[in-house]
């Protein structure tokens, strides 16, 4: 029986869809960070041989998808759905990539939660018998995002300490019910988040805006599955950065479900060397959790170093228009439970 439900938000996937292909294409600055050697590819500059930053982001996206499918032992014409999104208006990165790939396209917008949103949805489609193989993808690019959400790059605006640095990178994950390559991990549970907004209006403090949503989803997952943080080798949030990371720790302590320091991390704190790379509160953008999952966590799940983890990407759902109209920033967090390739249901 597919998809036996557990609670209001969490769904146990009895078929445990397999992840059998992954790729992470990153920008130059990300390549210079502590995870540099783990990426499939590091671009030498922001333009990646294209005419515009937007085309560069699309090329990273396309290349990551093609690589993940290839590493999964498959071909694009054998993949039933592309579930993908990005940060740009009308998700042009994903849409234009879908045009080039010819894979039926399910366009998503979850801001920086997209990597988890796409894997959660893709896993349910596989578990329900609606596809045999799907590719999930998310990206961001420092230059396309900064000029869309904040200021023209040429303006050189000063960034407050709470600001995060938008990651240039694309992550892609191939899910399959009939894997033709070694399995990296299984998706055992998904937990789709509610939109939570505690009134943060500062677009340079997205970690604080997203932390309450992260706590909301984590608490739902723990409650629905009757687990605690101790049941997981690792809990990784998407891109809360230092401010959001600390706030989530505090919120979870207040809810009497403290996250142990040694088992909780945030992709935005892993991707850069914050001492040397001047990124303030850490990394952000869909590409942040996208590349860290695919380059850093999945290999550890495959090797057995991580047996069971929560991957929860968080998104800040504001737009330039909503910010200009004085609206606060709604947050959302979607989570998937990943189990190592060797683990049994």
Q: Would you tell me which residues interact with its own copies (CB under 8 A)?
A: 1-5, 8-9, 11, 52, 54-55, 80-81, 85, 88-92, 95-96, 98-99, 102-111, 117, 121, 124-125, 127-132, 148, 192-197, 317-322, 325, 327, 330, 332
Closer by beta carbon to its own copies, 82 or else 251: 82
* Nearest distance from C-beta of residue 74 to its own copies, angstroms: 14
* Nearest distance from C-beta of residue 127 to its own copies, angstroms: 6
308: left (phi over 0), alpha (psi -120 to 50) or beta: beta
Q: What is the DSSP string of 250-261?
A: HHHHHTT-PPPT
Closer by beta carbon to its own copies, 123 or else 265: 123
Closer by beta carbon to its own copies, 117 or else 339: 117
Rounded-to-integer distance, Cα 316 and Cα 131, Å = 30
Closer by beta carbon to its own copies, 4 or else 228: 4
Rounded-to-integer distance, Cα 272 and Cα 86, Å = 21
* Nearest distance from C-beta of residue 153 to its own copies, angstroms: 14
Question: Parallel, antiparallel, or unpaired for β 264-266 and 234-237?
Answer: parallel
Judged by DSSP in three states, 185 sits in: strand
Query: Which residue, 52, 54, 304, 40, is CA-closest to 174?
Result: 40
CB 227 within 8 A of CB 303: no
Query: Which residue, 199, 203, 200, is CA-closest to 159?
Result: 203
* Nearest distance from C-beta of residue 96 to its own copies, angstroms: 6
* Nearest distance from C-beta of residue 275 to its own copies, angstroms: 33
Closer by beta carbon to its own copies, 40 or else 117: 117
Query: Which residue, 333, 30, 329, 321, is CA-closest to 149?
Result: 321
Closer by beta carbon to its own copies, 106 or else 249: 106
Residues 6+ apart with CB under 8 A from 246: none
Closer by beta carbon to its own copies, 106 or else 309: 106
Question: Parallel, antiparallel, or unpaired for β 185-191 and 10-12?
Answer: antiparallel
């Amino acid at each position: 029986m597919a998809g036996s439900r557990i609670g209001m938000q969490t769904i146990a996937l009895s078929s445990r869809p397999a992840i059998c292909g992954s790729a992470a294409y990153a920008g130059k600055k990300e390549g210079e960070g502590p995870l540099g050697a783990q990426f499939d590819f590091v671009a030498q500059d922001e333009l990646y041989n294209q005419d515009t930053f937007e085309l560069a982001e699309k090329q990273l996206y396309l290349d990551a998808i093609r690589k993940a499918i290839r590493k999964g032992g498959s071909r694009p014409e054998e993949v039933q759905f592309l579930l993908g999104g990005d940060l740009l208006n009308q998700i042009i990165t994903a849409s234009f990539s879908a045009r080039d790939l010819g894979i039926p396209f399910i366009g998503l917008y979850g801001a920086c939660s997209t990597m988890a949103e796409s894997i959660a949805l893709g896993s349910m489609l596989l578990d329900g018998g609606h596809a045999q193989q799907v590719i999930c993808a998310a990206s961001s690019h420092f230059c396309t995002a900064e000029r869309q959400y904040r200021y023209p790059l040429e303006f050189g605006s000063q960034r407050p300490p709470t600001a995060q640095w938008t990651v240039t990178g694309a992550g892609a994950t191939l899910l399959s019910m009939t894997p033709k390559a070694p399995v990296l991990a299984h998706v055992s549970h998904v937990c789709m988040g509610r939109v939570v907004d505690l009134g943060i209006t500062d677009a340079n403090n997205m970690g604080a805006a997203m932390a309450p949503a992260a706590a909301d989803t984590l608490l739902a997952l723990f409650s629905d599955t009757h687990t605690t943080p101790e049941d997981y080798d690792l809990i990784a949030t998407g891109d809360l950065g230092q401010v959001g990371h600390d706030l989530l720790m505090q919120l979870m302590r207040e809810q009497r479900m403290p996250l142990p320091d040694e088992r909780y991390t945030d992709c935005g704190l892993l991707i850069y060397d914050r001492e040397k790379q001047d990124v303030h509160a850490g990394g952000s953008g869909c590409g942040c959790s996208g590349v860290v999952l695919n380059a850093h966590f999945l290999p550890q799940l495959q090797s057995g170093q991580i047996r069971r983890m929560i991957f929860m990407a968080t998104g800040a759902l504001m737009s330039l228009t909503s910010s200009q109209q004085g609206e606060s920033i709604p947050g959302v967090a979607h989570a998937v439970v990943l189990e190592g390739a060797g683990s049994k249901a």
